[in-house]
Structure 1
């Protein structure tokens, strides 16, 4: 199942770790991942740092992808909610760390999150 990035020259250059649009062609399976936060496995403890929460979120996403027979390369869309816009660069670095050269469609929204301790929340879609 081909996944094709679309970054036509009529649009502004895509940001790092980003594609303007991602197309899934042919018969496929779609995995929709709910917003993930950085709680530890006990569901109560939350690391204080952005980096620690972000690494947990990406590791959880990896586990969900594997449970569906997928990996990070199957991601076609990401939506990240940041509690503080100052964490944008750290968020970009997390995407680059876990995605390497893979560039799914991506949106970052700065907003107040449900729990004031959350630094970020990430939802995703993956396809095969």
Structure 2
């Protein structure tokens, strides 16, 4: 088994003991993407609205997938953490924008997130 870390330079800096994604290679290549949030590239600032954070997170996700030679169609599992259930409809609209008819397994969890500014966190698994 070969593990490759994916921490693209144009994303915010990774935390301690964290990678934005880990790719497992063999006959099939799996990419496990850590929970992403809406930080700008400086790793400190983030947009205030759910919609802006969601757009930024999906862009981060696309950047990570691209770094592994994958795209959104390679996603096999998604886990969404919403800071409030009222964000569900906006979350689904953004999901549909990026995935179209592609339908990976997914879970939505509503909970208090680590930083009160976070409205959304997305964790993903992709395979190729």
Distance 1:64 1:99 in 2: 16
Distance 2:126 2:29 in 1: 8
Following superposition, the deviation at residue 91 of structure 1 comes to 0.4
- Which structure is higher in RCO with an 8 Å CA cutoff and minimum separation 6? 1
Greater C-alpha radius of gyration: 1
Partner-residue secondary structure (3-state), 1:64? helix
Aligned to 1:67: 67
- What pairs with 1:42-57 in structure 2 (closer than 5 Å)? 42-57=42-57
Moved over 3 A (4+): none
The TM-score, its normalising length taken from structure 1, stands at 0.79
Following superposition, the deviation at residue 28 of structure 1 comes to 1.1
Distance 1:28 1:108 in 2: 27
Following superposition, the deviation at residue 47 of structure 1 comes to 0.5
Following superposition, the deviation at residue 46 of structure 1 comes to 1.1
Superposition RMSD on alpha carbons, in Å?
Answer: 0.5
The TM-score, its normalising length taken from structure 2, stands at 0.79
Partner-residue secondary structure (3-state), 1:57? helix
Q: Which runs of 5+ in 1 are unaligned?
A: 1-26
**Alpha-carbon deviations, 1:99-122, whole Å to 9, x = none?**
011000000000000000000000
Partner-residue secondary structure (3-state), 1:109? strand
What is the aligned residue count?
A: 102
